Amino acid sequence: MLATLVLGGKKCQIDLSKPMDISIPLRHGEGNPTAWYQAPPTIKPNQTDGYVGSVAQGGTVNFNDITFNPHAHGTHTECLGHITEEVFSVNQCLQRYFFKGLLVTVAPEKQGDDWVISKEQLRYVLGRKKPEALIIRTLPNTNDKLSQQYSHSNPPYILEEAMTYLVQQGIQHLLVDLPSVDKEKDGGALLAHKAFWQIHEAPRKHATLTELVFVPNTISDGTYVLNLQVAPFENDASPSRPVMYGFE
């Protein structure tokens, strides 16, 4: 099924029958990726006044309660409201859902005790391309990312000057397979977040960060159409489902 889109003033066709979903589904328990020192998410039958929301347990319907934190459990998209005193909702800030995206693969570099993504690396993989959305897949890229426990693990992150470079290149939507673009324990500095949203200069209210995606190795680096959808939560962050399409 072909659909025609206009991106960057140019028409392109995408095959809707061949989506490449790069989100991680939210699961109950330890099989879910978890970060920021949170307990695993729970999906359990509701129990009210003796009623159990489980057909298997005698209920008439399955009626689950779900407890999770969008920043800590699975693929999520966030807006500048994540780090501002003023309240911003990602449901309001994200106003378009299709973008010309570029998928790149980067092997973080060793810097002291950390693994980082540098400006030089991003300059190399971007070349002269200026996509609206950039999807970064880090190496090594294994299925362990689908259930990784990130707390106290000091995962790779993006250096401040590298993030400033992405902003200068016009990146509006950045997607990474990491739990954060910043160092896990940075004393609250949040240098990459602040550089991306430019909250002290000209706040980028419609720019988004998506974290904890997973891009299988079967998907090649290159240019794609990205469909970025979030659950309509009025919150700084929401679970999201980024889907890529090849195009002509």
Q: Is the pLDDT of residue 1 over 80?
A: no
Give yes or no for a contact between 7 and 228, defined as CB atoms under 8 angstroms apart.
no
Query: In this predicted model, what pLDDT tens digit does every residue of 85-127 receive, in sequence order?
Result: 999 999 999 999 999 999 999 999 999 999 999 999 999 999 9
pTM: 0.96
140: cis peptide before it, omega within 30°? yes
Instruction: Tell me 185's DSSP state.
Output: S
Reported as type and span, the H/E element at residue 3 is: strand 2-7
Residue 112's CB: how many other CB atoms inside 10 A? Answer: 6
Residue 31's CB is within 10 A of a number of other CB atoms, namely: 12
Q: Where are the domains of the chain?
A: 2-28+70-245
Architecture of domain 2-28+70-245: 3-Layer(bba) Sandwich (3.50)
Q: For position 52, what pLDDT does the model report? A: 97
- CB contact at 8 A, 36 and 70: no
CA 176 vs. chain centroid, Å, equals: 6
151-209: pLDDT as tens digits: 999 999 999 999 999 999 999 999 999 999 999 999 999 999 999 999 988 999 999 99
3-class secondary-structure state, position 246: coil
Residue 39 has pLDDT above 90, yes or no: yes
CB neighbourhood size of 43 (10 A): 14
Question: How large a percentage of the chain has pLDDT more than 70?
Answer: 100
What is the distance between the alpha carbons of residues 241 and 24, in angstroms, rounded to a whole number? 8
**Token digits of residue 220:** 């090649």
Judged by phi (left if over 0) then psi (alpha if -120 to 50, else beta), residue 212 lies in: left
